Amino acid sequence: MTVITRDPLDVAAPVIELSGARKTYHTGDIEFEALRGIDCRIFPGEYVAIVGPSGSGKSTLMNILGCLDVLTSGRYVLAGEDVSQMDEVALASARNRRIGFVFQQFHLLSSLTALGNVELPLVYAGVAPAERRERAMVALQRVGLGDKSRNHPGQLSGGQQQRVAIARALVTEPAIVLADEPTGNLDSHSTRDVLGMLDDLHAEGSTIVLITHESDVAARAGTVYNVTDGQFVGAGTEIAK
Amino acid sequence: MRPADLLASSWRAIRTHKMRSALTMLGIVVGIASVVLTVGLGLGTQKDVSEQIAALGSDLLIVSPGSSTDESGMRGGFGSGETLTLTDADALASEVAVPDAADVAPEKASSLSLEYGESNWTTDVTGTSTSWPEVRSRDLLYGSFFTEDDAADGASVIVLGAETAEELFGTTSVVGQEVTIDGEALEVVGVLAEAGSSGETSLDDIAVVPMTTMVERLDDSGNSESVDTIYVKAASSDSLSAASQETTALLLNLHGIASADDADFTVEVQDSLLDAATSVYEKLTVLLTGIAALALLVGGIGVMNIMLVSVTERTREIGLRKALGAAPANIRNQFLIEAMILGLSGGAVGVIIGVGLALALPSVLGSTIVVSGLALVVSVVVAVGIGAIFGVYPAARAARLAPIDALRDQ
């Protein structure tokens, strides 16, 4: 492993740019600093892993990156848009357009088919039914589940459900795919399956941010950031392949 | 988000929890069905009473003994309740004194037992004049009413109400038969067509005889002059108040009373009865509707309850939808529309059940239920409104959920 330093002039503009990111939680009189000044830039096509033990602040960081929460101070620019001062409605729109979430618990709606679940972000984007069905079908085919489009989540294995979730993350063609412990609920076979799929997406040019506490999962990424006590330990660490 | 997708999303949530949705609707169903029924029952009763009063004749004056201005209810020197006489009735029939009266019919009634062979039946036997069918707006089913000659002679003739004939003979076609009252044999010359009931008393359980027959042969009260009621039919409904004034003036004069305040009789106009009855039934309708509205309120609280439970239960779903880009307004609208669909479906089912009962119940209860189209439309609108009003709070709570907390919920 080698510590890398980037020359900002020789690459495209960053997808994610965090500067002086701080997040403080208040519980009664007690203040808790979850993030204590993080600077970070992630460029298009990068595969980044954020690792750290529980309580390190990595979940907070994931919420900030995913526009699910806002910073107490500092700046977050996502795909050229400053989202740090956005209100709830604008944040919802930013999530819809820029972020593809993959969660540990899959978070598929059991009342919808696989296709219906993949269509959901497009429903909130106001895409017409015919177009969104077509785009959702393409996304499902991309994760190899074209033949399962009419199945409900309950009729699919854990690995297949997570692949549906990945298709849902891809369908809006987001700036980043944000995967939060995507293999946490999967057996080793499905874990390999899903990680292989993220590798493929990376190879096809997607920007992926993976949050995990498992070092062998993080090892798949190109760059690893270590979070401890709300701060990055060292700079991004490039994994030697 | 497209409105059609919003609607589809709410509809799917309702269908996913069929049992719960049905139970939530139940409160609204019961509320709306009772609104439809109670309003219908109120209107129906009002209609019944109006018809019964109208059947008596809307151009009719009813002169009764005793005064309504005195608390004792009676006044005058002829003895309690016997202040009206046949002489009064004859005077009222004069075209000179009461030009606006078309017809006059005095009534003197007594509860007597009618016998035919083995059967007997007790009913009100009324002695009156030949103008009675005209004045009381009654038609004959069979035969004819007694004649002037019968009236003058005190003939042994009787006209029966349809129900009375049915009770005595088992049929209404009984013209020419004979009934016996206190040993007096009377020939049935006519049977009255049915007129329904007026409150407690049936207008069809009645027997009518000439006044002379009543006074001389049947009545044993000892006061041959007094009558119970004098009906004065005005020439037209426009001349009703003129007829009323003329009647009052004539009777005051005949009874030697100077002031109308001291009158020993009461002249009632049919219209005032109608007005009084209508106002009573309007109040009844308001009361019943109030009770039904309470039922609806309870139904609405049920909707709110279930929607709150639903918001709690679907926290993760709400979180996910928000993470995928649903704005707070999208979430709020989804829950609001869910509540309104529950209200609408509950209202529609309630209307169907209410109308069904309104059609089925009259044969059991014997009362009329009027199903008003306006009430149905208002009911459904109110049901949707209740869904919306009681859905606002749960929907607002759902919209306020922070996506991270919602996603983390296990």
- The pLDDT of residue B202: 75
Least CB–CB distance from A69: residue in B13, B321, B404: B404
B197 and B288 belong to one structural domain: no
B322 min Cα distance to partner chain A (Å): 7
Tokens of B295: 């039922």
- The pLDDT of residue B322: 93
Counting the structural domains of chain B, the total is 2
Give the confidence band of B50 by pLDDT, cuts at 50, 70, 90: confident
CB neighbours of B133 closer than 8 A, spacing ≥ 6?
A: B139, B140, B145, B192
Q: Do B5 and A123 touch (CB under 8 A)?
A: yes
CB neighbours of A166 closer than 8 A, spacing ≥ 6?
A: A102, A143, A177, A182, A194, A197, A198, A201
Domain boundary among B263, B297, B332: B263
State CA B33 to chain mean position distance: 20
- The pLDDT of residue B198: 58
B188 occurs within a structural domain: yes
- The pLDDT of residue B70: 45
Tokens of B242: 């003129």
B305 occurs within a structural domain: yes
Domain boundary among B263, B286, B315: B263
Domain boundary among B197, B229, B263: B263
B232 and B103 belong to one structural domain: yes
Least CB–CB distance from A124: residue in B317, B324, B404: B324
- The pLDDT of residue B90: 86
> CA A114, CA A148: separation in Å to the nearest integer?
7
Tell me the residue range of the domain where B390 lies: 3-52+275-408
Mean pLDDT of B221-246: 82
B contact residues 340-369, partner A, Cβ 8 Å cutoff: none
B79 and B202 belong to one structural domain: yes
* Chain segment B113-169, per-residue pLDDT in tens: 999 988 889 998 999 999 999 888 888 889 999 998 888 888 899 999 988 998 888
Give the confidence band of B73 by pLDDT, cuts at 50, 70, 90: very low
B370 and B236 belong to one structural domain: no
Give the residue ranges of DSSP H helices in chain A. 58-65, 88-98, 114-125, 129-142, 158-170, 188-203, 215-218
B177 and B42 belong to one structural domain: no
Of A62-66, B73-77, B104-108, the poorest mean pLDDT is in: B73-77
B114 and B190 belong to one structural domain: yes
B85 and B226 belong to one structural domain: yes
Got the DSSP string for B321-359?
A: HHHTT--HHHHHHHHHHHHHHHHHHHHHHHHHHHHHHHH
CATH of A2-11+44-68+98-238, one of 3.40.47.10, 3.40.309.10, 3.40.50.300, 1.10.1240.10: 3.40.50.300
B136 occurs within a structural domain: yes
Got the DSSP string for B40-63?
A: HHHHHHHHHHHHHHHHH-TTEEEE
Q: Which residues pair with B150 in a beta bridge?
A: none
| Helices (H) then strands (E): counts for chain A | 7, 12
pLDDT mean values, one per 10 residues, chain A (241 residues)? 47 86 89 90 93 86 92 92 91 94 92 95 94 95 93 94 95 93 89 91 92 86 90 70 51
* In the block, residue with structure tokens 């489009």: A149
- The pLDDT of residue B410: 55
Q: At what angle do helices B3-16 and B328-365 cross, to 10 degrees?
A: 60
Q: B368 — phi, psi (to 5°)? A: -85, 135
Is residue B179 helix, strand or coil?
strand
Task: With beta carbons less than 8 A apart as the criterion, state whether B141 and B162 touch.
Answer: yes
* In the block, residue with structure tokens 């993350």: A169
Task: Kindly list the distances between the CA atom of residue B298 and the CA atoms of A193, B32, B229, B342, in Å, as whole numbers in the listed order.
Answer: 54, 11, 51, 14
- The pLDDT of residue A55: 83
State CA A96 to chain mean position distance: 12
Q: What are the strands, taking DSSP E only, across B195-328?
A: 197-198, 201-202, 206-210, 229-234, 265-269
- The pLDDT of residue B57: 59
> CA B409, CA A103: separation in Å to the nearest integer?
13
Domain boundaries, chain A: 2-11+44-68+98-238
Contacts of B402 in chain A (CB under 8 A): 68-69
* Chain segment B164-211, per-residue pLDDT in tens: 998 888 888 888 889 999 888 999 999 998 876 655 567 888 999 999
A121 min Cα distance to partner chain B (Å): 5
- For residue A100, give the chain B residue with the closest CA: B324
> CA A146, CA A150: separation in Å to the nearest integer?
9
Contacts of B328 in chain A (CB under 8 A): 88-89, 92
* Total length of chain B: 410
Q: Is B329 at the interface with chain A, CB within 8 A?
A: yes
* In the block, residue with structure tokens 């928000």: B322
Q: Do A126 and B2 touch (CB under 8 A)?
A: yes
Is residue B257 helix, strand or coil?
coil
> CA B12, CA A119: separation in Å to the nearest integer?
15
B157 and B255 belong to one structural domain: yes
B146: left (phi over 0), alpha (psi -120 to 50) or beta: beta
B385 occurs within a structural domain: yes
Mean pLDDT of B71-85: 54
B269 occurs within a structural domain: no
Q: Do B403 and A93 touch (CB under 8 A)?
A: no
B12 and B114 belong to one structural domain: no
Contacts of B320 in chain A (CB under 8 A): 107, 109
User: What amino acid occupies position B287?
Assistant: L
* Chain segment B369-400, per-residue pLDDT in tens: 888 888 889 888 988 999 999 999 999 999 99
Q: B224 — phi, psi (to 5°)? A: -75, -20
Contacts of A97 in chain B (CB under 8 A): 325
- The pLDDT of residue B184: 87
- The pLDDT of residue B56: 60
B255 and B279 belong to one structural domain: no
Q: Which residues pair with B185 in a beta bridge?
A: B180
Of A56-60, B54-58, B217-221, the poorest mean pLDDT is in: B54-58
B279 and B259 belong to one structural domain: no
- The pLDDT of residue A240: 53
B62 occurs within a structural domain: no
B133 and B190 belong to one structural domain: yes
**pLDDT of B273 strictly over 90:** no
- The pLDDT of residue B145: 92
Least CB–CB distance from B407: residue in A93, A96, A107: A107
Least CB–CB distance from B404: residue in A68, A126, A128: A68
- The pLDDT of residue A11: 54
